[in-house]
Structure 1
Amino acid sequence: MAAEQDSAGGERLASDRVFGVIGGLLLLLGLVYLVRSFLPGGSDTGAGPAPAAAAVPALSIVSPSAGAELAQPAAVELDAGTALVAGPTGWTAEGRHLHLFAGGTELMATAAEMQHLGGTRYRWTLPRLPAGETTLRLAWSDERHRTIPEGASPTVPVRLR
C-alpha cells in the first residue's frame, strides 16, 4: 500500500484515509438521522404523513344510573365503544383491556363475569363489594395495567347493599 508522511513525521496508509472518510460519513449520517428525529413528523421517510394513532374508544356505563341502589352481586351494563375479546390480560380491544373502579377497588372481569349483549354492549357481574356509597368508573389499561385516561367513562355514584 502507498504510504505518505503526516505532519508529525509518521506514516499514514491510504487505507487509513479511506476508513477516516467512511467514519466521517457515518457520523454525518447519524447526525442527520438524529436531527430529523426531533423535527415535526419524526423520522418521516417522505412517504406522506404518518398515520394517526387509533382513537381510544369511549367507555360508558349504561346501567346503573347515578344514585341507584344496587343489590349484590351487582351488574354493570356498559358500552365499550368497540368489540371486546376475552384474553390473558382480561377483556381486550386493540391492545388495551378493561378495568372497573368501584371506589378504591380496581377490578378486571373474568370470562364468566362478562356477558356480551350485542354490538359493543356488555353486562359485567361484579364480585361482592363492601356495602355503602361508592362510585363506578370504567377505564382502559395498557399491558402493564397503567390506566389510560382517554376513553374513561364518567363516574357514576351508587349505593351497594
Structure 2
Amino acid sequence: MTQIAPLRVAIGGDHAGFPLKELIARKLDGHVSALIDCGTNSEQSCDYPDFAVEVARHLIAGKADRGLLICGSGVGVSVAANKIPGIRAAICHDTYSAHQGVEHDDMNVLCIGGRIIGSELAMEIVYSFLSAQYTPGERHQRRLDKVLEIERLGLDALKS
C-alpha cells in the first residue's frame, strides 16, 4: 500500500457511485486518520449534488483534509463540488492527474466515475491523490492565486 500522510477524508457519492464508494471506504479504513462517510448508503436513486455539498461542508469546516466523490461518470459530482467556494475538485481516471492536481493545483477533492473505471485502478488513483502534497512553487502559486481570485470575484476578476 502507498504511504498516506495522516489525513481526515470525507467520502460521498450517489447511487451509481455507491458500490465503489463502499469498496474504497473499506480499503481506506485504518489507513487514514478519519474516514467520514457522507452517504449515500444504498443504490436507491438519489441526487449527486447532495453528496458533493456534504463532502464540501466537512472540508470547509476543517473537519476533513481531502474529499472523495464518486458518481456514475465523476462529471456530476465534479461540476457540483466546483460551485462551492474553497473546493477544487477534478475528475481523475489516472494516477498522474490525481497526484499532479494536488501538487500543482492544490486540488482537495478527487472525483471518479464508478461506472467508468474498475476498483483496482480506482484504488491506485485514490492512493496517488491522498499521498500527494501541494508544492507551492512560484508558478503554481501564481496560477492558484488567479483561480482563487476568480472564485472570489467571479467574472469581475477577468480582464476584458
> TM-score normalised to the size of structure 2?
0.25
State which structure, 1 or 2, has the greater radius of gyration over its C-alpha atoms: 1
> TM-score normalised to the size of structure 1?
0.25
More helix by share: 2
